[in-house]
Structure 1
Amino acid sequence: MFDSKFSRVLIVNFVTASIITFVACYFLKTFNMTDVMHIANIFGLYFLVIFGVDILIESGDLKNNRDRFLLVIALIVVFDLIFLIFTPLIFGNVFSINDYLTFIVNGARFDLILNTPIYLIIFAAIMLIFNYLLYRKDKKLYGSE
């Protein structure tokens, strides 16, 4: 599974996804929208996890089974950690903002704090759902492998 072509495709996709993310971060910083800097992560994640893994499935370098999901989970964790480490180093302290979502149910107040790690978990869940949908489509297309 980890031959030179597979590794090369992963590295190129990872670098390209990082470039896409940091360009989106630069765009958001230019327009003084640092409150939503975490949204730039979803662009890179989409390219890396959806497009990149689909290339590997189509080329036959990765089987369309649980290996797909293990790779996707590993890529999401590594990409999010790199995003959380390098974005503040490059663009300053842009993750200090927290959003609050308040629910009032039968007089009881529930405050949900939405900070950057929570948003990254939500984005990861969205990417896993997209991968599951692509898995089902590819399973029909390529047969169960």
Structure 2
Amino acid sequence: MFDSHLSRVVTVNFVSALIISFVGCYFLKTVNLTDVMDIANIFGLFFLVTFGIDILVESGDIENNRQRFILAIALILAFDLAFLIMVPLLFGDVFYVTDTLAFAVGGTKLSFSFNVYVYLAIFAVLMMVFNYLLYLKDRERYG
């Protein structure tokens, strides 16, 4: 599955996605919105997983089957790991914020904590949904 052309395309897409995320982080830091710095991850993930994999399917480098989803999961894990390591090195400790959502349902109080890991998991699920929708579209196109 990974020949030299495919690995080159994936590497270029990966580096481009990291640059897109870092530009988003830089913008958020310049406008003093470091509390939501993890939102820049979604820009890079969208470019890498949705746009990048769709290009690979259209070029015929990967098949529009489970290879698409295995590659998407691997890229999401690698990208999130690189994002979590490199953003604090470049922009300081910006992942210290924890959001709390509390509400009552039927007299029972429910409280949820959202930190950077929860948000990255939500973004990963969102990208897999986008990838699935593109899979359905490409399945109709390529048979």
TM-score of the aligned structures, taking structure 1 as reference length: 0.97
Alpha-carbon deviation of 1:3?
Answer: 1.2
SS of equivalent to 1:131: helix
Structure 1 unpaired stretches of 5+: none
1:10 paired residue number: 10
Farther-moved stretch of structure 1 (8-17 vs 103-112): 103-112
2:96 paired residue number: 96
TM-superposition CA deviations, 1:32-67 (whole Å, max 9, x none): 000000000000000000000001000000000000
**Moved >3 Å (runs of 4+):** none
- Quote the Cα distance in structure 2 between the aligned partners of 1:53 and 1:40: 20
Q: Taking every aligned residue pair, what percent have the same amino acid on both sides?
A: 63
- Quote the Cα distance in structure 2 between the aligned partners of 1:78 and 1:49: 11
Alpha-carbon deviation of 1:103?
Answer: 1.5
TM-score of the aligned structures, taking structure 2 as reference length: 0.99
SS of equivalent to 1:21: helix
1:124 paired residue number: 124
1:64 paired residue number: 64
Aligned-residue Cα RMSD (Å) equals: 0.6
Structure 2 unpaired stretches of 5+: none
Alpha-carbon deviation of 1:139?
Answer: 0.3
- Quote the Cα distance in structure 1 between the aligned partners of 2:122 and 2:132: 15
How many residue pairs get aligned? The number is 143
Alpha-carbon deviation of 1:129?
Answer: 0.4
